[in-house]
């Protein structure tokens, strides 16, 4: 027979007892664990995202540093090349100047030697010519006048050469 009776009240009490027991002893740990897990997953995802961003930033930094390093290396090599070129040019210039100086000195020496040799030759020629001439004419030609005559002849001879 279907009728409303005290079962209604008893059922309400039953449910309240069940609700109280479960809410007090069972749901709190369960909800806490579920919330903890949720928070942990959110945190982990955030951390992972942060780590990824950090890694990307670090990578960009490294790439930039690498580019800088490469640029610096290129600069250093360029600079070294330039220095070497400068040194080379300088040495070449110096060597050329030295060579020219040496050439000039040598030319001067040669000219001096030549002049000296000409003077020597003249002296010798005068002496020889005088001796030869004296022998040829078989008389002494040692007067100052003779000497001068011979000297003039010699000079003329030498100049004509």
Partner 1 sequence: MGTAEASEGIIHYLPTEIFSGVIINMQTMYMSWLTMLIVAVIVFAATRKAEIIPSGIQNVVEVFVDWLNGLMESSMGIEGRRTAAPFVITLFLYIFIGNELGLMPQIGPHLTSPTNDINVAFGLAITVSLAVYLFGVMRQGLSYFKHFTQPFAAMLPLNILEEIAKPLTMALRLFGNILAGEILLVVLYMLAPWIIPNIWIGFSLIIGFLQAFIFTMLTMIALAPVFKANH
Question: Restricting to residues 37-66, which ones interact with partner 1 according to CB under 8 A?
Answer: 37, 40
Q: What is the DSSP letter of 142?
A: -
Q: How far is the CB of 46 from partner 1 (least distance, A)?
A: 17
Is residue 26 at the binding interface for partner 1, with CB under 8 A as the rule?
Answer: yes
Q: How far is CA 68 from CA 58, 59, 80, in A?
A: 15, 14, 18
Number of residues counted as binding partner 1 (CB under 8 A): 33
Closer CB to partner 1, 17 or 48, in the complex:
17
Closer CB to partner 1, 16 or 137, in the complex:
16
Considering only 11-19, 61-69, 84-92, 100-108, which stretch makes contact with partner 1 by CB under 8 A?
Answer: 11-19
Q: Return the exposure string of 89-112: e unless at least 16 CB atoms fall within 10 Å of the residue's CB, then b.
A: eeeeeeeeeeeeeeeeeeeeeeee
Closer CB to partner 1, 3 or 160, in the complex:
3
Is residue 21 at the binding interface for partner 1, with CB under 8 A as the rule?
Answer: yes
**Do 158 and 122 touch, CB atoms closer than 8 A?**
yes
How wide is the angle at C-alpha 116 spanned by C-alphas 112 and 117, nearest 5°? 115
Quote the tokens at residue 35.
Answer: 């919330």
Closer CB to partner 1, 11 or 68, in the complex:
11
Q: Which parts of this chain interact with partner 1 (CB under 8 A)? A: 1-12, 14-19, 21-23, 25-27, 29-34, 36-37, 40
């Amino acid at each position: 027979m279907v009728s409303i009776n005290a079962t209604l009240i008893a059922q309400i009490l039953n449910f309240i007892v069940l609700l109280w027991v479960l809410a007090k002893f069972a749901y709190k740990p369960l909800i806490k664990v579920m919330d903890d897990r949720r928070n942990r997953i959110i945190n982990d995802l955030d951390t992972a995202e942060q780590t990824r961003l950090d890694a990307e930033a670090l990578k960009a930094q490294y790439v930039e540093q690498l580019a800088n390093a490469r640029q610096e290396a290129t600069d250093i090599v360029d600079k070294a090349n330039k220095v070497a070129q400068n040194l080379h040019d300088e040495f070449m210039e110096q060597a050329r100047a030295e060579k020219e100086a040496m050439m000039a000195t040598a030319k001067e020496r040669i000219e001096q030697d030549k002049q000296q040799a000409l003077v020597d030759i003249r002296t010798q020629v005068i002496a020889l010519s005088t001796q030869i001439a004296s022998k040829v004419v078989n008389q002494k030609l040692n007067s100052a006048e003779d000497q001068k005559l011979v000297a003039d002849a010699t000079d003329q001879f030498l100049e004509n050469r």
